[in-house]
Amino acid sequence: MDRKERMQDKKRIVVKIGSSSLTHAETGELNLEKLERLVRVLTDWSNQGKDVVLVSSGAIAVGRTTMKIPGRPKEKSVKQACAAIGQTRLMMVYQRLFAEYNKVPAQILMTKLTMVNDENRHNARATFGELLKMGVIPIVNENDTVVTDEIEFGDNDTLSAIVAALIQADLLILLSDIDGLYTDDPRTSPDAVLVPEVEYITEELEAMAKGAGSDVGTGGMSTKISAAKIANDAGTDMVIANGDRIEDLRRILAGEQIGTMFCAHKNENFHMIDYLTKRS
């Protein structure tokens, strides 16, 4: 099946945007023009009758720039304080931007406990379902203000894949600071070639994964491969694309060859809980 065919009937879509795609590299401040374009695309999809969920990083980054802290904080208490400050400011920006298009967003903060505990997981699924039925766009982030090592996802690539599996999304789009999966790190290797499609994730492919190239986010290419495993096993197609080009979201849904597509192959033996407990 070609890309255009695969994208034809995508009804439920999760988009994840990372901190490095949300902020200006020079200052660490929010890139409002890019955020406005993102909100416009997501609202338009919602207006078409699609279910849309946004997994948004950026709380710690916004908090640290607000408090004039240089670089990403290393101490957990400082990170959590920055998250507490940044989360409200980030949601205020989203609230205002979505209001411009008469669209209602909602905030959902999660930890691994949300998914591991059966009652919490079922409740989370029901909440997402009701919000989407109302035409609301949930904005999801890890609850960085209270999370501990034992109950954290660790990165929003993983969180977005878990959310996609939870709500049985048709498509997960990871907006990154790179065009997709390459045969080598394109920042250092001129011979690196973009891989347009991955049918199955092999050990050789995992070896291609390189670390992140920014001090803002936490997820490198290896976390995106892990996210693809979760999404694909849950029956969700996943695309990695460059967050610098928000307009590519429309092109991805139109079936154009943008970024790297990881093809879904629903694994009947896949259980989210098994994956999460292995990561503990």
- Show the tokens assigned to 41: 């695309």
Beta-carbon contacts of 77 under 8 Å, excluding residues fewer than 6 positions away, are none
Cβ partners under 8 Å of residue 250, min gap 6: 41
CB contact at 8 A, 142 and 156: yes
Give pLDDT, residue 267: 80
> For the segment 93-152, what is each residue's pLDDT rounded down to a tens digit?
999 999 999 999 999 999 888 888 889 999 999 999 999 999 999 999 988 788 776 557
pLDDT for 78 equals: 92
Helix or strand or coil: residue 38? helix
Residues 138 and 128 sit within 8 Å (Cβ to Cβ): yes
| Residue with token string 């890890």 | 142
Token pair belonging to 163: 């959310």
**Element of type H or E holding 94:** helix 76-100
Q: How many CA atoms lie within 13 A of 239 on its CB side?
A: 29
Predicted pLDDT at 17: 96
136-170: b or e for each residue (b if 16 or more CB lie within 10 Å)?
A: bbbbbbbbbbebeeebbbbbbbbbbbbbbbbbebb
The number of beta carbons lying within 10 Å of the beta carbon of residue 200 is 9
CB 86 within 8 A of CB 63: yes
Give the model's pLDDT for residue 257. 94
Distance (Å, rounded) from C-alpha 130 to C-alpha 48? 18
Cβ atoms within 10 Å, residue 20 = 24
Domains of the chain: 3-278 (3.40.1160.10)
Q: Rounded to whole angstroms, how far apart are CA atoms 107 and 90?
A: 11
Q: What is the pLDDT of residues 144-162, one digit of tens each?
A: 788 776 557 778 899 999 9
Please report, in tens digits, the pLDDT of each residue of the chain (280 residues total): 789 988 988 999 999 998 889 999 888 899 999 999 999 999 999 999 999 999 999 899 999 999 999 888 888 899 899 999 999 999 999 999 999 999 999 999 998 888 888 899 999 999 999 999 999 999 999 887 887 765 577 788 999 999 999 999 999 999 988 899 888 777 788 888 899 999 998 887 777 664 434 443 344 688 899 899 999 999 999 999 999 999 999 999 999 999 999 999 888 777 766 666 665 4
pLDDT of residue 149: 61
Smallest CA-to-CA distance from 236 within 163, 156, 170, 174 is with 170
In this predicted structure, what is the pLDDT of residue 109? 94
**Residue 42 structure tokens:** 């997501």
